[in-house]
Structure formats: C-alpha cells, structure tokens
C-alpha cells in the first residue's frame, strides 16, 4: 500500500486549468521530487494534497484511505505536514509557541508534553537557544527550520515541501536542505517541489517532471537528469544548466 496516491487530479482557478489529470504514487519512506517551470502546477498539487485547495476532479488516497472529500478535513491535515516558501510563522508567538500551538489545540495534548516534544525537535535541529525568540528576530534559514519543526511536531506521516529554499538568501539554503536531508535519512515520506536540482538528484528516490499541469515524465534521478526522454524535459534541464543551477 502506498503512503499517498493521487488519481487523475484536476484543478482550475477560474477558466485556467492548473492541474490536468495528475497521477502520482508515493511509497512509504519514499522521497519524491517535483520539478518543473514556475506555473507548471507543483505548488498547487501540494496544496491540493493537503486539502488547502478544493479540487475539481480526481481522487486522493492517504495510506489507502480516500481523503478526497473527508468528513473531517482537520483530522486529515494533522497527518500531513506542509512547509511553505514564505515560512508563514506566526509573528505574534515565540518559537516555542509556534511549535506547540497545533499539538496542544488540534491534538489536545498537555502543555508539558507539547513543550517536551517541541524542545526535543528544536534541539535536534540546532534551534534550542531560539525557543523564546520571536520570528522577526530570526534569519530566514532559522525561520524556515522552525517552520519545519512546527510541522514535524504534529508527527505527520507525510511531509510536503513547497520550494522551501526559494525565498532564502543563497548562504542560508544549505542549513535548510540539511534538515530535509536528515529527515529523508530518518525515513520520512516526503514530496518536495524544488528548484534545487542537485539537491533533488541527491536526495530523491524518484523525480517527477511537471509540465503544464501534468506529470510528463518520471523516473529515478539518474534517468531524469542524465537521459530524459521527453523533449520538454530536455529543454527544461538545458535551461537549468545554462542558468548554472545544476
């Protein structure tokens, strides 16, 4: 049984069809990288999987269970973590409260237990000394690591990363990628939309190339990056190489 299965997913914003029948399967402990040009539908796909966007057609299964139109949306979202490009930390809360809010409110666990859980995670990712800091006092890299910890504190069975390094200064990218790498090593099931091609090649079990709202080609990193079959994939990767991003 796969951790996540998406079948013929359709999504439109007004007249513009962003996703035109996406099929995607992610096995347990698998890391899947979504690549493709801006506007190809990577972010929308992730937001649909997390039920943040209502879909127009198709079905989504989480660990075999149909979550397309669930009775309790919140219960499903608790099982899927998502990290956004723009961090989206809660600016009026300290790091510790950012991380403990959802476990305390949505999972209804005690404050002490939530804080223990949060501190263990913060320590693991080198953020323990920032527990009382407010987001605007942190660097972009630190904020994004806190956002990852905040999602992990819910103990999700699946993590979604939506171009999490795109808003960061170049020198801060590595610390965030390090965190994701560690999660992959730890066996976390993940889907990451990314422009960091070398990282995707490094970390992903499978790479999917999204083009115009559909997965045009997928395979192992070696297959996609060294011998892509589709002309569109070749074109895309060519442009990436020219921009020295690979």
Partner 1 sequence: MRSGGDGRRGVAIALLSTVVFFTIVVVLITHAPGWHRVRSEFFNWHEFTSTFPEIARGFVLNIKIFSIAEAFILVFALLIAILRSLPGPVFFPLRALAIVYADLFRGIPTILVIAMLGFGAPGLGLSYLPTSVIFWGIVSLVLIYSAYVSEVYRAGIESIHPSQEAAARSLGLSRWQTLRHVILPQAVRRVIPPLLNDFIGLQKDTALVGTVGAVEAFQQSQIDTNATFNFTAYLAAAVLFVAVTIPLARFTDWLVARDRRLRQAGRLA
Residues in binding contact with partner 1, number by CB under 8 A:
28
Q: Rule CB under 8 A: is residue 133 a binding residue for partner 1?
A: no
**Of 47 and 195, which has the nearer Cβ to partner 1?**
47
Question: Which two three-digit tokens encode residue 141?
Answer: 């890299």
Q: Rule CB under 8 A: is residue 78 a binding residue for partner 1?
A: yes
Q: Rule CB under 8 A: is residue 246 a binding residue for partner 1?
A: no
**Of 142 and 218, which has the nearer Cβ to partner 1?**
142
Q: Rule CB under 8 A: is residue 187 a binding residue for partner 1?
A: no
Out of 2, 12, 86, 94, the residue judged to bind partner 1 by CB under 8 A: 86
**Of 136 and 242, which has the nearer Cβ to partner 1?**
136
Residue 14 phi, psi (nearest 5): 65, -125
Q: Rule CB under 8 A: is residue 222 a binding residue for partner 1?
A: no
| Shortest reach from residue 88's CB to partner 1, in Å | 4
| Shortest reach from residue 197's CB to partner 1, in Å | 26
Q: Rule CB under 8 A: is residue 145 a binding residue for partner 1?
A: no
| Shortest reach from residue 67's CB to partner 1, in Å | 13
Q: DSSP string spanning the chain?
A: --SEEEEEEEEEETTEEEEEEEEEEE-TT-EEEEE--TTSSHHHHHHHHTTSS--SEEEEEETTEE-SS-S-HHHHHTTEEEE-TT----TTS-HHHHHHHHHHHHS---HHHHHHHHHHHHHHTT-GGGTT--GGGS-HHHHHHHHHHHHHTT--SEEEEESTTTTS-HHHHHHHHHHHHHHHHTT--EEEE-S-HHHHHHH-SEEEEEETTEEEEEE-HHHHHHS--SHHHHHHHHHHHHTT--
Interface of this chain with partner 1, residues 32 to 71, rule: CB under 8 A: 47, 50, 52
| Shortest reach from residue 171's CB to partner 1, in Å | 17
Q: Rule CB under 8 A: is residue 125 a binding residue for partner 1?
A: no
| Shortest reach from residue 73's CB to partner 1, in Å | 8
Task: Find out whether 238 and 226 touch, Cβ atoms under 8 Å.
Answer: no
Residue ranges binding partner 1 (CB under 8 A): 47, 50, 52, 74-75, 77-78, 80-82, 84, 86, 88-92, 101-102, 105-107, 136-137, 147, 150-151, 154
């Amino acid at each position: 049984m796969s951790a996540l299965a998406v079948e013929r997913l359709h999504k439109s914003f007004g007249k513009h069809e962003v996703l035109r029948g996406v099929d995607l399967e992610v096995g347990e402990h698998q890391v899947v990288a979504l690549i493709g040009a801006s506007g190809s539908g990577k972010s929308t796909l992730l937001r649909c999987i997390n039920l943040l966007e209502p879909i127009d057609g198709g079905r989504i299964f989480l660990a075999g269970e149909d979550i397309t139109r669930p009775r309790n949306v919140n219960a499903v979202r608790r099982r899927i973590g998502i990290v956004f490009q723009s961090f989206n930390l809660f600016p009026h809360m300290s790091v510790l409260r950012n991380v403990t809010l959802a476990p305390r409110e949505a999972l209804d666990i005690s404050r002490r237990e939530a804080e223990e859980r949060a501190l263990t995670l913060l320590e693991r990712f080198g953020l323990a000394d920032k527990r009382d800091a407010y987001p605007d006092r942190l660097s972009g890299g630190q904020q994004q690591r806190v956002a990852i910890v905040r999602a992990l504190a819910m103990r999700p069975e699946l993590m979604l990363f939506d171009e999490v390094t795109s808003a960061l200064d170049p020198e801060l990218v590595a610390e965030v990628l390090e965190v994701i790498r560690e999660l992959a090593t730890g066996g976390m099931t993940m889907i990451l939309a990314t422009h960091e091609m070398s990282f995707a090649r490094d970390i992903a079990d499978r790479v999917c190339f999204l083009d115009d709202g559909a997965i045009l080609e997928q395979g192992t990193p070696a297959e996609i990056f060294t011998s892509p079959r589709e002309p569109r994939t070749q074109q895309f990767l060519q442009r990436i190489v020219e921009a020295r991003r690979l």
